[in-house]
Amino acid sequence: MEKRAFGKTDMEVSVLGFGGAEIGFSGATAETVDRLLGSALDAGLNFIDTAECYGNSEELIGKTMSHEKERLLLDYQVRTCLWIV
């Protein structure tokens, strides 16, 4: 997986990321999320996007990936999602 420098930090971010909205809205199980994100990390992806308004996405990602903190960059959006207001 191609990675690029993350701003002026010493971190590198994968050019592809995992969008967490679908797992929050689809009723995905923790087992499914663990398998999906584990495979993504093994393939070199290290950028995961989630937000409070993505259903239980943040909870599932937190439960299944807490042991992978060194391998991933988590983007957490803190804004109002207009489609649920």
* Cα angle 58, 45, 27; round to 5: 35
Is 76 an active-site residue? Answer: no
Look at residues 61, 81, 57 and name the one whose alpha carbon lies nearest to residue 71: 61
Name the catalytic one among 18, 54, 55, 60.
Answer: 54
3-state SS assignment for residue 85: coil
> Catalytic amino acids?
54
